[in-house]
Structure 1
Amino acid sequence: MRYRHRPLSFYGFSSPQSKRIGHFFFWFLRSEVAGCPFFRERMAVILEAYLMGCGQSMLSSFQQQVLVVDNLHNVASAVKRLYPDKSDLPPTAAQKLQDLLQSCHFPPDFQVPFDPRIRAGQIQLNRCKIMASKKKPLWLEFSGVDSQATTGPPVGIIFKEGDDLRQDMLVIQTLKVMDSIWQERSLNLNLVPYGCISTGHNIGMIEIVRDAVTIAAVQRSQGGTKGAFKNDALFEWLKDKCPLQGIHYQAMERFVNSCAGYCVATYVLGIGDRHNDNIMITDKGNLFHIDFGHILGNTKSFLGMNRERVPFVLTPDFLYVMGRVKGRSSLYFQRFRDICIEAYLSLRSQSRLLVTLFSLMLLTGIPELSAAQDMRYLRTALQEECGEEEARGHFLQQITICEQLGWTVQANWWFHMVAGIK
C-alpha cells in the first residue's frame, strides 16, 4: 500500500496551537523510540510518518533542536568521564565545561524543546557551570530571541544525563491537571509547573526558574548549616525580599496558597526525597517542589533508615511564616488548613481522572510506575472508599502529624546539608 504524504496544513494542522502539539508529539515519540523497548518499532514508524508530513519549516526546527541536544549529550558524557566521583568539583570544572561547550557547533538560534514559544540564541559561556550533584547536570545560559529576532530575556536550561525525566514530566503534567481542577473551583494555588522534557534515553532538559532559590540556600544564608533549625529563617528571608507592606502581604498570600497546593499534591502523588535542596521559593513568595525521582510512596533511605517520617513537608519554618508558633492560633494557618481541605476534596472528586492518567503510563517503563499495585498508593491517598467528612478528617490528621514531627524533617535537612547527600 502506498501512502500519499501531504503537509500537515492539508489536515488543518497549521495554527500555532497545532504546531505546539506537533512539537511535543515529536519529542515524546523520539524519547520513546530511544528508551521504550516495548513500543520502539511502532513509535519509530509513527515518528517517520509524522516527519514526512510536517513540512520543511518544522523539519528545520527539529533538526536544529536535535543538533543542540546531541552536542549537549556529548558534553555531559565528557563531564561525567572527567569527574566520575560524587565528591566536590574542582575549581577548574566550570572552565573545563566552557571549553567543551566552545568546541560545539550550535545553531545561531533554536526553539527550546520544553517550550516551543521560547527561542534561545547564542550560548553565554561565562554563565555556564556544572552543578554539584551526583548526576553532574549542566547549568546552561543562552541569550533570548523574541519574535522580532531581537534580544529577549535570557534562557536558562539544566541539561541532565542519567535520569529518566519521563517520571518528572508525568508529575509536572499531573500538577497542571490538578491546577486546572482547582482553577475551575476558583482556587489559584500559585503553582510553578516549570518546563521539563525527556529528549532521549535518560537525557533531558529542565527549565531554570528565575529569581528562585532552594530552601537550603535560604537556611544557609540565615545561619549556615544551623539555619536548618532556625524557625524564623524563611520568614526573615521573605521580609528582606519584600520589605514594603503591600508587597509583603502579597508574598504571604502566595506562600500560603502555594504551600497548601504542594502539600496536597505531594501527598496525593506520594512524592518522596523531599529535602531542602528539592524545595524552592521565588523572590515573590511562591513555594514549589522540584526533582520528582520518587513517587507513589517510594521514599529514600540512608543506611537502611527511612529519612522521611512525615506525609508531606510542613516544617516549623513554614509554620512560622504563617504565624503558627508553639501551637498559637493564626489566621494565615487557618487559611492554609481551609485551602488544603478544599484542594484535597476537589481532587477526590476527580479521582477517576487521576487514576486513569497514571494507569495509562503503566507500560512505558517508568521505574516507579510499572505494575498495577503501584496504583494502590494513589487510591489510598485519595481515600476513595471513604465519605467526604472522613476524608476531611483524614487530611487534617496528616497536617497534625506534620506539626508533631516537624523536628524530624529539620534534623534530616541539617544532616543533608552537613553530609552533602543528594
Structure 2
Amino acid sequence: MIKGSSLSNQCKAVKFEPYHDSALARFLLKRALRSKRTGHFLFWFLRSEVAESMHYRQRYAVILEAYLRGCGKAMLMDFMKQVKVMEALHKVTLEVKNVTADKYDVSAQAISQLRHKLEKLQSSGFPQCFRVPYDPGLRAGALVVDKCKVMPSKKKPLWLEFKCADLTSISKDTIGIIFKHGDDLRQDMLIIQILLIMDSIWEMESLDLCLLPYGCIATGNKIGMIQIVKDATTIAKIQQSTVGNTGAFKDEVLNHWLKDKCPIEDKFQSAVERFVYSCAGYCVATYILGIGDRHNDNIMITESGNLFHIDFGHILGNYKSFLGINKERVPFVLTPDFLFVMGTSGKKTSQHFQKFQDICVKAYLALRHHTNLLIILFSMMVMTGMPQLTSKEDIEYIRETLTVGKNEEEAKKHFLDQIEICRDKGWTVQFNWFLHLVLGIKQGVEKHSA
C-alpha cells in the first residue's frame, strides 16, 4: 500500500458519494477521532472546501460539524487559536495590499507599515502560541516583527517569522511562514501530495531522490500558508549575486556557490551527489506532471545541494506564453549550469552525468509501474474546481508522459531522448531566465530564501 494515499484525496472522494452520511464519511471521522494529527488535517481540509467548494459546501460542513462535536475541548481550543491567527493575518494582508499600489515592487514604507500593524496585532489579543496549520507538530510563538516583510509579488504575500514555542526545543531558529491571499493553494497541495506518493514508489524500489515537499496548506477561500525552507536560495538569487542579470548565462555560477557553501572537499562531493539525485527526481516528476512556468525564481537549492521546485500553478501541460510564444521549449529543466555541477558541458559526459541518466531511467520506469494509481488520483481531482484540472484531456497528458502502450525499452529510450532535448535547448531556458531577471517579473512566485 502506498503510504502517500492521502487524507486530502479521501476528502475529495466524499463528493462522489450519493448521500452526506456514507461509509467513507464515517471512515474519515473515525480516523480523525482516533488520531489528533489526522483530525488536525481533516479540520483544515474540510474548512477550506466549505469556503471554496460551492456545490459541496453543505456536505463538508455537516462532516466538519460532526468532527468538531467529538474531537474534545483541547482540540477545539487549538482550532480556535489557529482560526483567530488566520483571520487576523488575512485582515493585515488586505490592509497591506491597499497601501502597495505597484504590482511587484514593495517600498520600505509598506514594510514599515506591515511591522507596525503586526506589533499592534501582537499587543491586542493575538494568540501567544498556536499549532502551525501545515504541521501540527510545530508550535509557533510570538512574531519576530523585525524579520517580517511584504514580498515583491503580485499577490503581496507576507513573509512572517515566529519564535518557536516548543519548550523542548533548544534551537534559536524561527518558524518561517509565507501567508498568502489570492491564490488557490489546493493545486499546490495536490502536486506536493503526488510528489510524496512518487517518493513512496521510489522508496519501494530502494531509490532516494531527495525530494523536498515543503509544507503547504489551504485554509480558506484563496488563503493559505507555505513553509519557508531554511538555508535555501533561489537559482535567480545565486545568478544575480555575482555578475547581475547576465549570471543566467554563466554556467559556473551555481557550482561556485555550492563550493562556497561546502568548502571542505568531502562535504562538497556529498552536496554534488545530493544535487544529482534531487535534480533527477524533480526532472522526472515535473516531466510526468507537466509542471510549467519553471523559471529561476521557483527553482531552489539548499546549502547542502538539495535542488527542489516551488510554485505549482501550471500543471499538465497548461503552460504560459509570452507575446503569443510558448515559453516552455524543453520537457523539463536541465540547464548548462546544472550540468556544470555534474561535471559536464555541451555533449560531453561525466561520471556524475551518467549516474544522473541511470537514476532518471530507474525513477521513470518505477513510476510507469504505477500508471493506473497516478491516473486515478488525477481523475478524482477533475471535479474539484481547480483551474488546470478540468477535463479528460488533462488526464490524457499523464498517459502521454508515462508513455502508456510502450514497452520498457521504448520508455527508457523516450526519457533519454528528453534529456538530450534539454541538453540541446538548454540555452533557450537560460535566455528565458535572463529575461525574467531583466524584467523583474515575479509571476506570483514567493522566494523561500531569506
Same fold (TM over 0.5): yes
The residue that corresponds to 1:180 in the other structure is: 200
Per the alignment, residue 409 of structure 1 pairs with: 429
User: Is the Cα contact below 8 Å between 1:214 and 1:279 reproduced in 2?
Assistant: yes
- Who is 1:361 aligned against? 381
Matches within 5 A, 1:53-72: 53-72=70-89
Measure the CA separation in 1 of the matches of 2:185 and 2:114. Answer: 23
Q: Secondary structure at the match of 1:291?
A: coil
Which of these residues, 72, 84, 92, is aligned with residue 101 of structure 2?
A: 84
| C-alpha distance 13-366 of structure 1, shift in aligned 2 (>3 A) | closer
Task: Indicate how the Cα distance of structure 1 residues 394 and 13 shifts in structure 2: closer, same or farther if over 3 A, else same.
Answer: closer
Residue identity opposite 2:341 in structure 1:
V
Q: Tell me the equivalent position of 1:203.
A: 223
CA shift at 1:148, angstroms?
Answer: 4.0
**Per chain length, whose mean CA-contact separation is higher, i.e. which structure has more relative contact order (CA < 8 Å, sep 6+)?**
2
| Pair 1:20-2:37 in alignment | yes
Give the superposition deviation at 1:12.
8.0
Q: Is 1:75 aligned with 2:95?
A: no
Higher mean alpha-carbon deviation, 368-377 vs 407-416, is at 368-377
CA distance in 1, matches of 2:142, 2:206: 41
TM-score using structure 2 length: 0.89
How many residues matched?
A: 413
1:259-278 map, 5 Å: 259-278=279-298
Q: Which amino acid aligns with 1:77?
A: L
2-side partners of 1:13 and 1:271: how far apart?
A: 32
* Range with bigger deviation, 146-155 or 301-310: 146-155
Shift of 1:312: 0.3
Kindly state the Cα deviation for residue 153 of structure 1 after the two structures are TM-superposed. 3.3
SS in 1 for 2:108: coil
Q: 1:20-419 counterparts in 2 under 5 A?
A: 20-104=37-121, 105-146=125-166, 148=168, 153-419=173-439
Gaps of 5+ in 1: none
Contact 2:31–2:39 (CA<8 Å) still a contact in 1? no
Deviation at 1:145, TM superposition (A): 1.7
The one-letter code matched in structure 1 to 2:424 is Q
Gap runs ≥5 in structure 2: 1-20, 22-26, 444-450
Judging changes above 3 Å, is the alpha-carbon distance between structure 1 residues 97 and 236 closer, same or farther for their aligned structure 2 residues? same
Which amino acid is the alignment partner of residue 80 of structure 1? K
| Structure 1 position 297, deviation (Å) | 0.5
Q: CA RMSD in A?
A: 1.7
- Aligned partners of 1:145 and 1:151 also within 8 Å: no
Structure 1 residue 85: Cα displacement:
2.6
Determine what percentage of the aligned residue pairs are the same residue.
58
Q: Spell out, residue by residue over 1:64-103, the C-alpha distance to the aligned partner (whole angstroms, 9 max, x if none).
A: 0000000111111111111133141212121111112122
Aligned equivalents of 1:11, 1:357: Cα separation in 2: 23
Instruction: Give 2:336's aligned amino acid.
Output: P
Query: Residues 33 and 70 of structure 2 are in contact (CA less than 8 Å); yes or no, is this contact kept in structure 1?
Result: no
CA 1:151/1:34 → structure 2, altered by over 3 Å: closer, same or farther?
A: same
Q: What CA distance in whole angstroms lies between the structure 1 residues aligned with 2:187 and 2:111?
A: 29
Change (3 A) 1:14 1:54: closer
Q: Tell me the SS of whatever aligns to 1:153.
A: coil
Q: Secondary structure at the match of 1:412?
A: helix
- Is the CA contact 1:140–1:157 (under 8 Å) kept in the aligned structure 2? yes
User: What is the TM-score of this pair, normalised by structure 1?
Assistant: 0.95
Partner in structure 1 of residue 446 of structure 2: none
How many Å separate the matches in 2 of 1:416 and 1:347?
Answer: 33
SS of aligned partner of 2:102: coil
